[in-house]
Structure 1
Amino acid sequence: MLIGYARTSTLDQKAGLEVQLDELRAAGCEKVFEEQVSSVDVAARKKLTEAMDFVREGDTLIVTRLDRLARSVAHLMEILATLTSKGASLRILAMGIDTATPTGKLMLTVLGGIAEFEREIMLERQREGIAKAKAAGKYKGRKPTAQAKSDDVIELAWAGVGPTEIAKRAGISRASVYRILREHQTSSPADAVAK
């Protein structure tokens, strides 16, 4: 049986999901698992877990692109090991790779390693760039938006407004509201605003 798996990172990527579903159907997938969840949070990818549980001996799990399936080579190898232990294979349409063949397994491992290497190099360059910018005094980082609204948060709290409503009015998270209130615990509204 051909089983498809489609994933996009956010709900805003509906068109990307539709394209994946069309490609999987065109490839002959009889059952497709789809979800919209970040690749970073592997634990939240319930449909991937369901697809892996659904796969039986002789089945092929099909994805359109490698990045739709695994975030790292280690995760990819874990998926591949699970499929292999079940007597199933993996096919990646965009790469023309099918792990039902020894060549397909080799190519997938090599390409996955290259992809992870490229990502590490990019992150290293990014860290170096930030370090250079900091040394030159050009990098300040993201301006803390919640702290800039501390006075408003304190005033609203002293006026009896609840944390959820304060967060809504100030345009910050409830966690930020609680953090500001903890940091500015005072005995009077005047002292709170003065801080």
Structure 2
Amino acid sequence: MQLVFATNNLNKIKEVQALVPNHINLLSLKDIGCHEDIPETQNTITGNSIQKAAYIKTHYGHDCFADDTGLEVDALNGAPGVYSARYAGEQRDANDNMDKLLTELSTKTNRDAQFKTVITLQLNNKQHTFTGICEGEITTTKNGALGFGYDPIFKPKGFQQTFAEMDLSLKNSIGHRGKAILQLVHFLNS
């Protein structure tokens, strides 16, 4: 089976490739010649995930899946949420995003947060969605050099290290994207 993962983010591809069974040939957007930015104009994480998967099916004809992920911080009423990637501006810089978030939380005592990933599978002209959530908290400083995005400041519930201090197999086993991908894989295997 061949499926397009609607991303050019090499970190996401690496994470997902480790979870997908060998019989699924995973292609990136680059592999199918998609070099434009896929629209993400919805106001929810689920909406963006659906929009991206539908775009690839409509414009390239491939069965695919797309994800959208957001970091939802309790003290900020769920922000940055759907705007997580561009929280500090259109340059989509992870350090800028983390710095802005840490500044906004500097006077807050509640640092509870969750990562939410929604994956939309577009297969045989039908859509299916899968949601993974990982609860945790925002640290006061950046820790670790692994991972990407907000990983250096997100500590999952029940752990003393951030995502950026965890190896990929541990992060995948407890993380939001891993949970959503495992639902996807279970669906594809059934």
Say which structure is richer in helix: 1
User: What's the TM-score bracket when you normalise by the shorter of the two chains?
Assistant: under 0.3
Larger Rg: 1
Say which structure is richer in strand: 2
Task: Give me the TM-score of the superposition, normalised by structure 2.
Answer: 0.26
Task: Give me the TM-score of the superposition, normalised by structure 1.
Answer: 0.26
